[in-house]
Structure 1
Amino acid sequence: MSTTISDLKKEMRRAAKATRQQAFARLGDSASHAIAGHGVGFAGKPAPAIVSGFLAIGDEIDPTPLMQRLLGEGYRLCLPVMEGKGKPLVFRAWSPGDPLAETTWGIREPLPEAEVLDPDIVLGPLLSFDDQGYRLGYGGGFYDRTLARLRALKPIVSIGIAFDEQKVDAVPHVDYDERLDWILTPSGPTRCPAKG
């Protein structure tokens, strides 16, 4: 029986979770502040561009310090909201202190009355990444569908937020896996090659 891309991803996810857990235990808060120190000026979308962040769960790097910096620089913030399995994410306006609802997997989302926005910059969590900009996510395909939808609307910049330790030689991928434009780690931003 041949190994499928799906099997390879499952196997990689197990190892990646352990790697990220160890990096988080060692670096936690310092990684969040290092990422905030870099900002997003490298992305070429100055304020008042709309930035979609995320609220960390588990051992994801917490991008809140970065989002607070961006708000101070005049960017508009939003957070992703799940609309259901198999659907792209939508984004609702958010600022630190705004009320949130807790949903599946402990994810916190803005309330339904918050304004829907289409971000110019998308910050996303991941389990692993490679030099080509492929990311290993959690397997739901939410970010792939969402990036495809946004890219059909307008030019956007996607930035994976990760520990340096999460880099791998190659992330298994299929045609519909959307590549990232940048990876932002505590050591700084890395540009991924343009899609050839």
Structure 2
Amino acid sequence: MTTILDTPATPSPQKAALRAQALARRDALEIDDRLEWDPEIAARVLALPVWKDAAGPVSAYWPMRSEADPRPILEELHRRGLPLGLPAIVARRMIFRRWAPYEPIVPGGFGTLVPAPEQPEVSPRILIVPLAAFDRRGYRIGYGKGYYDRALSELGPTISIGIAYAAQEIDAVPQEPHDRPLDWIVTERETIRCG
């Protein structure tokens, strides 16, 4: 039996318009500001209470275009001894492969960089996710394929942390049945506990 999570998400025209607006705002941010804000976002993420008893694995993403950069977070978590992973799309499904700072990454489609295919899969317990837009309830607009929503459903109990710039906030993300809210959203200005 096929469920809504087994099939690729059908892009919502309303979400597409909100995504385009939020990405335009993000792309318009000065690079010098973003370079200043990324360490502030990292410090806020690393101050979350989720790390107190965390054993990992933790997955984030390799930044592309003007996304908030999670690499300083990953470097610190690696220093603390937590196992890490990065996502990869395989057969239209998001998986997570083991990765550590300075290990090789390869092109993974959609403009992403991912761990080499020979790296073993991991099942993250904490997931740091990118987003195009977000609201204070924890709902996000991604890039329209639904990969993270499906992954969050498949992974089971997982703490999800979205990182973004404050300019990406919108009043309300239109909800669809497959949407999975995030537990936390962190920007350069604040930490939002969702739900």
| Fold match by TM threshold 0.5 | yes
User: Matches of 2:67 and 2:135 in 1, distance apart?
Assistant: 17
Code of the residue aligned with 2:158 in structure 1: it is I
Quote the offset at 1:172 in angstroms: 0.9
User: Matches of 2:49 and 2:57 in 1, distance apart?
Assistant: 12
User: Matches of 2:49 and 2:153 in 1, distance apart?
Assistant: 18
Contact 1:93 1:117 in 2 (8 A): yes
Quote the offset at 1:37 in angstroms: 1.4
Quote the offset at 1:184 in angstroms: 1.2
Aligned-CA RMSD value: 1.8
Quote the offset at 1:69 in angstroms: 1.1
Quote the offset at 1:121 in angstroms: 0.5
Partner residue of 1:39? Answer: 45
User: Matches of 2:30 and 2:178 in 1, distance apart?
Assistant: 30
Size of the aligned set, in residue pairs, is 185
Stretches of structure 1 that go unaligned for 5 or more consecutive residues are none
Identity of aligned residues (%): 36
The yes-or-no answer on 1:59 pairing with 2:66 is yes
Partner residue of 2:172? Answer: 170
User: Matches of 2:95 and 2:142 in 1, distance apart?
Assistant: 18
User: Matches of 2:181 and 2:49 in 1, distance apart?
Assistant: 15
Contact 1:32 1:66 in 2 (8 A): no
User: Matches of 1:159 and 1:187 in 2, distance apart?
Assistant: 15
Kindly provide the CA deviation profile for residues 133-187 of structure 1, in whole angstroms up to 9, marking residues without a partner as x: 1100100110011001012xxx210011100111110011211111111001112
Give secondary structure in 1 for the equivalent of 2:29: helix
Q: TM-score scaled by structure 2? A: 0.88
Equivalent residue for 2:90, pick from 80, 83, 100: 83
- The within-5 A match list for 1:175-186 is 175-186=177-188
User: Matches of 2:23 and 2:32 in 1, distance apart?
Assistant: 14
Deviation larger for 68-77 or 19-28? 19-28
User: Matches of 1:158 and 1:43 in 2, distance apart?
Assistant: 13
Give secondary structure in 1 for the equivalent of 2:191: strand
The yes-or-no answer on 1:7 pairing with 2:9 is no
Quote the offset at 1:96 in angstroms: 1.1
Stretches of structure 2 that go unaligned for 5 or more consecutive residues are 1-9
Equivalent residue for 1:71, pick from 62, 65, 78: 78
Kindly provide the CA deviation profile for residues 15-43 of structure 1, in whole angstroms up to 9, marking residues without a partner as x: 11111112353522112111121234525
User: Matches of 2:32 and 2:79 in 1, distance apart?
Assistant: 29
Partner residue of 1:30? Answer: 36
User: Matches of 1:24 and 1:183 in 2, distance apart?
Assistant: 21
Kindly provide the CA deviation profile for residues 114-143 of structure 1, in whole angstroms up to 9, marking residues without a partner as x: 121100110111011001111001001100
Code of the residue aligned with 2:43 in structure 1: it is G
Partner residue of 1:113? Answer: 118
Contact 1:50 1:78 in 2 (8 A): yes
Quote the offset at 1:106 in angstroms: 2.2
